[in-house]
Amino acid sequence: MHLAAIRENTVPGIQGSDIGNILLNAGLLTDEDLKRIVALQGKEEILFGEAAVALGILREEDVRWALSRQYSYPSVNTEEEPISKELIALHEPSDPRVESLRSIRSGLMFSGAGNIVKSIAVVSPEEGEGKTFVAANLAVVFAQLGMRTLLVDLNFRGPRLHGLFRIKNNTGASSLIIKRAIFEQAVRTTSIESLTVLPSGPKPPNPSELLSWQDTRELLGTLKERNDLVIIDTPAFSRTADAMMIASLSDGVLLTALKGKTRLSAFGQTKRQLEASSVRMLGSVVNEIRGMKK
């Protein structure tokens, strides 16, 4: 289907503003992108989507997706699935590994013991031990229950969630903390019902300092109020103090390890440090799946 055959402005008076807002909220456009598109649209008297594609800002499938949101009709992606294959809970729902994730989900749901858990920090001793994989897939299986689940990337030093979900990272958690964006600009919708993602946003000059701000605590409190569950991806525990700070701001911590890679001594030390800080340990996950970056 050619873009010229798609008419986004079938409602009189709409000049691309609705589709523009949809794309802005999804993180596919910046304010500057929008200005350039509208300028070309007015100059050439073409459709909003045509202008965006002509400028190289959007792909035709991005425009088709936004139109489907604008007019509430299904959007079919004719290219390869854009979301990473690491999201096995989405791509391989009958895989035994996904059954294990569902078992973890069940265990977490009944681990409250009277105290409601609304935010979970997923940590690992070192990089490359599957914490991002676990956090992302766990968020998917919770969302599949219909729970409003927000996946947050607070790994300001090496963020990956925007890559897994193929979303822009121009605004995100760092933008919200320093009050440079509003929720509608920073939180991204996904193709998975009930799941939204808050990417890390621009890298701050001092991540540890930013995480120590009261604004970060207040942000996480607000995110919990807006969602049924918040799952947080963190930096490696041994590299910086970031993971400990994030853990202390969360209702509970899930500690991950990679079989054959994680050193038992490092795992034990991480666990002891978390317990000594009065962080609530929700459990541990031994990941046997190779190939994840973090």
Q: What are the residue boundaries of the structural domains of the chain, listed by start?
A: 3-71, 88-287
Please give the C-alpha separations between residue 18 and each of 14, 15, 173, 186, 264, in angstroms, as whole numbers. 7, 8, 25, 18, 54
In eight-state DSSP terms, residue 277 is T
In eight-state DSSP terms, residue 3 is G
**What pLDDT is stored for residue 65 in this prediction?**
74
**What pLDDT is stored for residue 113 in this prediction?**
55
| Superfamily, domain 88-287 | P-loop containing nucleotide triphosphate hydrolases (3.40.50.300)
Residue 230: beta bridge partners?
Answer: 119, 150
**What pLDDT is stored for residue 67 in this prediction?**
74
Residue 285: beta bridge partners?
Answer: 256
Residue 121: beta bridge partners?
Answer: 232, 253
- Phi/psi at 67 (5° precision): -65, -35
Please name which of 125, 128, 134 lies closest in space to residue 237, comparing C-alpha atoms.
125
Show the low-confidence residues of the chain (pLDDT under 50).
Answer: 1-17, 73-81, 290-294
In eight-state DSSP terms, residue 231 is E
Q: Which residues of 56-82 are buried (b: 16+ CB within 10 A; e: fewer)?
A: ebbebebbbbbbebbeeeeeeeeeeee
User: Considering Cα of 80, then 81, then 87, then 91, what sign does the dihedral take?
Assistant: negative
**What pLDDT is stored for residue 241 in this prediction?**
92
State the maximum Cα–Cα separation within the chain, in Å, rounded to a whole number. 67
**What pLDDT is stored for residue 132 in this prediction?**
95
The three-class DSSP label of residue 80 is coil
> In the block, which residue shows the tokens 């041994």?
238
Cβ proximity of 129 and 256 under 8 Å: yes
Query: 48-97, pLDDT tens digit by residue?
Result: 888 999 999 988 777 877 776 665 544 434 344 467 888 988 888 878 88
